[in-house]
């Protein structure tokens, strides 16, 4: 009997960086072993109908969360599902396609942690808590370049959605196993040097972070570990060098030798104005998320 897929939820507001974060995690786990489920495909209405109804895509009433739960149950049971993907360029739905389960399912979107029934399905859940000024900049850049919006339309959309985001999207932060936040420093810096904060609840299978710091004397100057409630928070300085990052990665391998395989894969990559760039802080954050996901898979095999 085959083992069920391991489910990872990545939740956050529009243009918070969910796809970028998920792409690196998928690469770490092995793209061929990952199925990505995009919850935007579970919008009930296309863009035109939403405008007529004056209903935001961020509102639960605009999303078939029950169907999402049913599909996750079927995928977890090893069954394929049929779903029409939402096309952000056209604002409509494309022809239905088959979604087949893999060893890992990454469930990415706006409202994946919004109900108790959905929250119970995940092995690991992440909320991407991008500061609003940074998220607004990313949304302006993405929606004008890729989705056919004018700058005025994006600004109006952000203003119109603020109340819905506050009511339905941001509260999911409290339900996530891990909360990831990228931010600028006191002086303006480019996105390759964004600082990262990774908060991990104790119940998630995170590495022994104190040991990572002790075994990474070079990287320790760029990493700050503290306790917060029932969990740990790791601050990653965006200026962390390649050598410092590699040392921290090696320390993680000592705790989970299986990571030696996934560390051969790409991490930390993102696109800016059509140009591929790299962030060590992003790469370490992706690795810290992949660690408990891979651990859940390995422990599942040990108990099977």
pLDDT higher than 80, residue 262? no
Length in residues, the chain: 304
Cβ(216)–Cβ(247) under 8 Å?
Answer: yes
Q: How confident is the model at residue 1 (pLDDT cuts 50, 70, 90)?
A: very low
Tens digits of residue pLDDT in 198-251: 999 988 888 999 999 999 999 999 999 999 888 999 999 999 999 999 999 999
4-13, 28-37, 183-192, 275-284: which range is least confident on average?
183-192
The two most distant CA atoms of the chain are separated, in Å, by: 58
CATH class of the 1-126 domain in this structure:
alpha beta
Q: CA nearest 252: which of 214, 295, 212, 200? A: 212
Q: Give the mean model confidence (pLDDT) for residues 266-276.
A: 86
Name beta bridge partners: 200: 178, 232
Residue-wise pLDDT tens digits, 31-43 = 999 999 999 999 9
DSSP string for residues in 68-79:
HHHHHHHHHTT-
Contact 99, 81 (CB under 8 A): yes
Q: Where are the alpha helices (DSSP H) in the chain?
A: 18-29, 47-53, 65-76, 116-119, 132-146, 151-164, 209-214, 242-255, 259-262, 280-303
For residue 175, give the nearest of 114, 107, 110 by alpha carbon.
Answer: 114
For the chain, residues classed under CATH 3.40.50.300 are 1-126
Band of residue 303 on the pLDDT scale cut at 50, 70, 90: low
Q: What integer is the mean pLDDT of 160-170?
A: 97
CA distance 48 to 274: 28
Dump pLDDT digits (tens) for 29-87.
999 999 999 999 999 999 999 999 999 999 999 999 999 999 999 999 999 999 999 99
Residue 257: is its pLDDT beyond 90?
A: no
């Amino acid at each position: 009997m085959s083992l069920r897929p391991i489910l990872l939820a990545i939740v956050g507001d529009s243009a918070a960086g969910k796809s970028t974060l998920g792409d690196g995690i998928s690469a770490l786990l092995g793209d061929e072993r990952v199925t990505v489920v995009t919850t935007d495909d579970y919008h009930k209405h296309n863009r035109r109908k939403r405008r007529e109804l004056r209903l935001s895509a961020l509102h639960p009433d605009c999303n078939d969360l029950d169907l999402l739960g049913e599909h996750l149950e079927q995928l977890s049971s090893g069954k394929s599902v049929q779903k029409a993907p939402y096309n952000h360029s056209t604002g409509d739905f494309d022809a239905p396609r088959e979604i087949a389960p893999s060893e890992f399912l990454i469930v990415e979107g706006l409202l994946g942690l919004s109900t108790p029934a959905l929250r119970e399905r995940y092995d690991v859940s992440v909320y991407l808590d991008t500061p609003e000024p940074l998220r607004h900049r990313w949304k302006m850049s993405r929606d004008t370049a890729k989705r056919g919006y004018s700058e005025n339309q994006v600004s109006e959309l952000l203003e119109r959605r603020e109340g819905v985001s506050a009511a339905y999207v941001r509260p999911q932060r409290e339900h996530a196993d891990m909360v990831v936040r990228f931010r600028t420093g006191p002086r303006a810096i480019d996105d390759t040097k964004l600082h990262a904060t990774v908060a991990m609840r104790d119940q998630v299978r995170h590495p022994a972070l104190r040991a990572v710091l002790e075994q990474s004397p070079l990287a320790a100057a760029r990493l700050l570990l503290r306790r917060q409630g029932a969990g740990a928070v790791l601050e990653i300085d965006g200026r962390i060098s390649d050598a410092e990052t590699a040392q921290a990665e090696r320390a993680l391998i000592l705790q989970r030798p299986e990571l030696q395989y996934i560390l051969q894969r790409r991490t930390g990559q993102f696109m800016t104005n059509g140009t591929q760039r790299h962030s060590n802080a992003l790469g370490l954050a992706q690795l810290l998320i992949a660690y408990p996901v891979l651990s859940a898979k390995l422990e599942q095999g040990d108990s099977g």
